[in-house]
Amino acid sequence: MKIVTCIKQVPDTEAEIKWDIPKGTLKRDGMDPIINPFDEFALEEALLTRENYDGDIIAISMGPEKASDVLRNALALTVNEVHRLTDEAFAGSDTYATACVLASAIKKIGDVDVVFCGKQSTDGNTGVVGAELAAILGYSQLTYVSKVRQIDAANKKIVIERAIEGGIEVIEAKLPAVVSVIKGINEPRLPNLMGIRKAAKIEIPAWNADDLGIDKAKVGYEGASTKVVEIAVPPPRGAGEILKGELEDIANIVTDKLIDLKVIK
Amino acid sequence: MANDVWVYIEHKDGNASPMSFELLGIGKELADNLGSSVCAFVVGENVENIAKEAFSYGASKVYAVEDGVFKGFRAEAYAKAASFLLDKYKPEITLFRATSQGTDVSAASAASLGFGLCTDSIGIKVDGGQIKLTRAAFGGNYTVTVVNEKAKPQITTVRPKAFSMPEKDASKQGEIIKESFSIAESDLNTKVLEFIKSEVALNLVEADIIVSGGRGVGGDDGFKMMKELADVLGAAVGASRAAVDSGWISYEHQVGQTGKTVKPKIYIACGISGAIQHLAGMRTSDCIVAINKDPDAPIFKNASYGIVGDYKQVVPKIIEKFKTKLNK
């Protein structure tokens, strides 16, 4: 089985965020980068799938030189192959352009059975790249996946559970499929020292727009259909009131105030 | 018309999800500013009743694709039908709720039409004839306003509860435009085998009141107390990431950056310090009550009412008062 996992490097959300105001994009250099938390679950699911059904895992990440770190971490976790997708023309890509670049890489890899990605990234937070990727590739679109029940590569079938509003939906789908996973689907492992040492020596191969056969005008800042026109800091919440006094009085005040809102039935 | 505003109506088992009419309110406002009409669109097996309901919430027209193959929701099938309609009529903008269904259909439709979309908008306005969409970025520390110059129609998902529900007027009527569009079952990739209903009755995102617990509630027993308060108030139970990662409560309850974004009318945070990742998921709640032992906890800076104290003493007292005052 051929398994692809898409991983993204994101700024640590504890870090200070810097914007390139005229472009409306993030200044990613100088930020402490981490692997997108949701992608750790995608990578682990790829590893579990290989353990259960055999096959090869190819991890891909779109991003600048620094993004090599998340791929090196994937190598330390013993994925078989990694590719960094990088080109000046990719900078400023919106969700669709990102999905197009990822799709081109998946087509280039060829004969892929299943693509695992995280439900969303913690920086862009759009949560649509997985679905867009499936639509572009014509693969089964399986989102909010909380469990992979079974994969039958020979018969090109997969059964998964999706955690959606109101419950769990069980779906059988044809392979190939894009499976975007939620937190809690598994417990991501950490690489061991041996893996880290081995991975440290491997050069991370890069694919650019030409390698991927991508029309540069259609991706990146130029190709993006949405343009940022304003970045603002939302007004802070009005200073709240700390209720002081005896517990009895505090409880009376707060329950009265909440009942006055006429929300409680 | 080409500059109409379209609203996607979700349904399940033949019944419209009541909250999906929510967007007809902001849709009407936008259409008035654009000098056009707000229309609903729906994909399903039998959409007559859903369409009638959409009229009562203000849709002037309902565009529909009706076919047996659309009996239950399937992302790829619904997205194909939606993109067929959007490509044919090219409305100015199309609004989807940022639910699992809304996100799935909007993303796949935008991708098959060949452009990006703006997700989880919290502000939409017409400015100089151009539609400006505002979304929260980086844990709500910033808002970003975007315009979509290339995509026709523009597509956006909208954060649930960002706009108020329009008034219902059952006397209102409109025109249903049915388009014939179908897909052969054999051309579809997915089949729904079953739906297992959650034991959690209340959907966190739709709840008007949420009682949430964090690291400070200390364990399963603490969450029993959260549940007790929630039951008195008819509230849903939320949790911080720390509580979920400790295994005290399941992930579907998690509020925050790696959990759900909520906007209830009342949010009661117990033993939650208020890390930015948590605030990202709840800071736009109408009224926030924070109960925490630590007077310096950042949650207090975001709370409408703060109570410095041990939740183990405060919450039972509040439960007792509510029971008396609400005759429960």
- Say what the pLDDT of residue A12 is: 77
Query: What is the distance between the alpha carbons of residues B193 and B269, in angstroms, rounded to a whole number?
Result: 38
Whether B12 and B127 share a structural domain: yes
Residue among B321, B308, B221, B231 at smallest CA distance from B269: B308
Whether B151 and B273 share a structural domain: no
Instruction: Please give the DSSP secondary-structure letter assigned to residue B299.
Output: G
- Interface A-B: count of C-beta contacts within 8 A: 254
SS3 B286: coil
Give the minimum alpha-carbon distance from A206 to chain B in angstroms, rounded to a whole number: 25
| Contact status, residue B213 vs residue B272, Cβ threshold 8 Å | yes
Chain A contact set for B20 (CB, 8 A): none
- Say what the pLDDT of residue B91 is: 95
Chain A contact set for B255 (CB, 8 A): none
Reported residue count of chain A is 265
| Contact status, residue A88 vs residue A111, Cβ threshold 8 Å | no
Chain A contact set for B288 (CB, 8 A): 237, 240
B251 contacts A183? CB cut-off 8 A? yes
State how beta strands A19-20 and A25-26 pair.
Answer: antiparallel
Q: How many CA atoms lie within 13 A of B185 on its CB side?
A: 7
Number of domains composing chain B: 2
pLDDT, tens digit, 9 for 90 and up, residues A108-166: 999 999 999 999 988 888 899 999 999 999 999 999 999 999 999 999 999 999 999 98
| Contact status, residue A2 vs residue A105, Cβ threshold 8 Å | no
B258 contacts A226? CB cut-off 8 A? no
- Say what the pLDDT of residue B203 is: 85
- Does B192 reside within a domain? no
Tens-digit pLDDT string for chain A (265 aa): 999 999 999 887 655 556 665 666 666 565 678 899 999 999 999 999 999 999 999 999 999 998 999 999 999 999 999 999 999 999 989 899 999 999 999 999 999 999 999 999 888 888 999 999 999 999 999 999 999 999 999 999 999 999 999 899 999 999 999 999 999 999 999 999 999 999 999 999 999 999 999 999 889 988 888 888 888 888 777 768 999 999 999 999 999 999 999 999 8
- Does B200 reside within a domain? no
Whether B251 and B104 share a structural domain: no
Whether B167 and B226 share a structural domain: no
- Say what the pLDDT of residue B303 is: 95
A182 contacts B300? CB cut-off 8 A? no
User: In the listed set B156, B187, B218, which residue is the last one of a domain according to the structure?
Assistant: B187
pLDDT, tens digit, 9 for 90 and up, residues A92-115: 898 999 999 999 999 999 999 999
Residues of chain B with pLDDT under 70: 1, 139, 201
Q: What is the DSSP string of B177-202?
A: EEE-----GGG--EEEEEEEE-S--S
- Say what the pLDDT of residue A18 is: 62
Whether B127 and B223 share a structural domain: no
B309 contacts A255? CB cut-off 8 A? no
- Does B51 reside within a domain? yes
CATH of domain A2-223: 3.40.50.620
- Does B317 reside within a domain? yes
Q: Is A242 on the interface with B (CB under 8 A)?
A: yes
CATH number for the domain harbouring residue B22: 3.40.50.620
- To which residue do tokens 């041996």 refer? A194
Nearest by CB to A255, from B99, B136, B322: name it: B322
Which of B305, B322, B324 has the highest number of chain A CBs within 10 A, making it the mutation to test binding with A?
A: B305
A135 contacts B190? CB cut-off 8 A? no
Q: Is B309 on the interface with A (CB under 8 A)?
A: yes
Whether B179 and B213 share a structural domain: no
Per 3-state DSSP, chain A is made up of helix, strand and coil in percentages (nearest 5) of: 35, 30, 35
Name the A residues in 65-94 with CB < 8 Å from any B CB: 94
CATH number for the domain harbouring residue B222: 3.40.50.1220
Nearest by CB to B326, from A123, A233, A264: name it: A264
H runs (alpha helix) in A111-260? 129-137, 193-201, 209-212, 220-223, 247-260
- Does B222 reside within a domain? yes
Whether B126 and B225 share a structural domain: no
* Domain residue ranges in chain A: 2-223
- Say what the pLDDT of residue B270 is: 98
| Contact status, residue B319 vs residue B229, Cβ threshold 8 Å | yes
Q: Is B302 on the interface with A (CB under 8 A)?
A: yes
Chain B contact set for A264 (CB, 8 A): 209, 233-234, 266, 322, 326
Residue among B73, B75, B82, B99 at smallest CA distance from B158: B99
Q: Is A237 on the interface with B (CB under 8 A)?
A: yes
Query: Max Cα separation, chain A?
Result: 71
Whether B275 and B155 share a structural domain: no
User: In the listed set B140, B156, B187, which residue is the last one of a domain according to the structure?
Assistant: B187
Whether B161 and B239 share a structural domain: no
Name the B residues in 20-59 with CB < 8 Å from any A CB: none
Whether B179 and B53 share a structural domain: yes
Task: Tell whether the torsion through CA atoms of B209, B210, B211 and B216 is positive or negative.
Answer: negative
CA dihedral B174, B175, B179, B180 (to 10 degrees): 100
A228 contacts B209? CB cut-off 8 A? no
User: In the listed set B157, B187, B217, which residue is the last one of a domain according to the structure?
Assistant: B187
User: CB neighbours (10 Å) of residue B2?
Assistant: 10
On the question of a cis peptide bond just before residue A176, with omega within 30 degrees of 0, the verdict is yes
Domain encompassing residue B232: 209-325
Whether B181 and B218 share a structural domain: no
| Contact status, residue A6 vs residue A180, Cβ threshold 8 Å | no
Nearby residues of B6 by Cβ (< 8 Å), 6 or more positions away:
B27, B38, B39, B40, B41, B63, B86, B89, B91, B93, B94, B95, B153
Whether B12 and B123 share a structural domain: yes
Q: How many CA atoms lie within 13 A of A95 on its CB side?
A: 32
